[in-house]
Structure 1
């Protein structure tokens, strides 16, 4: 089921200081968000859906103001409903540790404006300042750290920047022919460990990542811990946090994750198959709270090794 939808919470863009050839806000928005189109932005402004930070409406002729914030409400003609529920695993005055289901984006993106974890949590808790401290791919399920207070958000974000938080994932992938042959001969001793370090950068299209020559900017620890048939259960710990890092690292080992629509081959865009989620779960987060000094180790159910 799909419905026309407008975001309940506004998004914003900061008008860059270095831009000097856009006399009006409309001209900037039309150029910056070219895929949306000038006619759409013009209509949004006419309808009173674009405003400054203080709530003052922006008009068609409103002049460009470098460094000012422009607020707008994302809209989509149709918004798919994600039929899986989020759960709050821990909550105090500063943070929420939540379970994000497969297919649900963390924040508004693409064709999703209100079907996202942030909006669902804001609606269920009544706290409109909830914001993520890090990212999880829309296709990935698992534990995610959300902050409650803007004033303390930075301290929790720094946990990830400085590597002071442990992230443990579980995944399923089809084994390489060599590993399958070893396993069938009874010559495979588990667990098997890999340290993967390589250089990743955006590919084409830009939301796909690729491994390129050069100094490594990614690092993951990966272990094969169990096997059923030709499918392996993997424990993964990303040391760095690049987009799609674990998915690309598993592909680099010759074992792309089950039900991955991006790797090794980008499949045509289409509706989500809710019966075939990506077999990747952020199963555990462990850290010392920088404000309360409480040692958190929050986890959710992992993936089941049932052959896919």
Structure 2
């Protein structure tokens, strides 16, 4: 028997319902199945959620704590992700543009784009869904949690792929702003292996074009490293202002979107970004986030031809980096 189509359930405090296939198995109760399949939530918590009506069958009916698994076998369950506590991320989300097809928002530092790990409510997507009530809102690209600035969202599923294709085809012009050491005052890194700088920063001449090969570090999976081989990450870098204290302001124009591309490439030059806890040396994960020293990287501008309307689009962040 074919499964019924997925339910279009309303948001709950900005969070969309998650669907979970319910196979045949040895579990007497739905509660037993959920406890084993999703063990990050305790059995007591699942029982509370079932008691509150926060777990539904594929007919949209709330399942009680004593619901037998046979009621749902071969079908879907629906639930809303929720955490008892989350780090409260400072900063306001600002909508810069919204129409029937596209939404553009400014993301503060430290705010994840989508729910993951210990962040659900404290994410850009959830905050925007609460602000707009748009359950189908979906990000078209990603920014690192530590990076601030412009993020684009599709409003309707119908147009999502057309916008995402722009990023896949590299048809989007992106400009980032960053604060990193002044090359005239920076100490160069010794060229001792993959990922290290190959020249002293003082010898750099701007603007410059970076073409490097990045791959995940074999041990520190959070990091990307620069290795020999055909380049897969391209960025134009220009120094636009020297700042007090040995710092400088840079404009970065990537034409590719490799993981941590700008952070890894600037560290490769011997100019790691101010506030970076991953490059050049991976710092331990903090038990409690320190919001006082944000990564000084900002998605500043984005431009493209709208695939739905055919109009030229250009957006600029209202945020600024603190020197």
> If the length of structure 1 is used for normalisation, what is the TM-score?
0.78
Higher strand share: 1
CA distance in 2, matches of 1:84, 1:291: 32
Relative to structure 1, the CA distance from residue 268 to residue 45 in structure 2 (aligned partners, 3 Å threshold; closer, same or farther) is closer
Gapped regions of structure 2 (runs ≥ 5): 1-11, 189-201
Pairing of 1:184-263 with structure 2 (within 5 A): 191-201=206-216, 203-204=218-219, 206-228=221-243, 229-263=245-279
RMSD of equivalent CA atoms: 3.4
Post-superposition CA distance 1:225-253 (Å, at most 9, x none): 22224212111122222222211111111
Relative to structure 1, the CA distance from residue 231 to residue 44 in structure 2 (aligned partners, 3 Å threshold; closer, same or farther) is same
Pairing of 1:51-66 with structure 2 (within 5 A): 51=56, 54-55=59-60, 61=69, 65=74
Count how many residue pairs are aligned between Structure 1 and Structure 2. Answer: 290
CA distance in 2, matches of 1:89, 1:76: 29
CA distance in 1, matches of 2:142, 2:169: 16
Q: Kindly name which structure, 1 or 2, has the bigger radius of gyration based on alpha carbons.
A: 2
Relative to structure 1, the CA distance from residue 49 to residue 302 in structure 2 (aligned partners, 3 Å threshold; closer, same or farther) is closer
SS state of the match for residue 75, structure 1?
A: coil
Match of 2:15 in 1: 9
* 2:311 aligned residue (273, 288, 294): 294
Match of 1:138 in 2: 145
Pairing of 1:39-188 with structure 2 (within 5 A): 39=43, 43=47, 46-47=50-51, 49-51=54-56, 54-55=59-60, 61=69, 65=74, 71-176=78-183
> If the length of structure 2 is used for normalisation, what is the TM-score?
0.75
Match of 1:184 in 2: none
CA distance in 2, matches of 1:95, 1:85: 20
Post-superposition shift, 1:194?
3.1
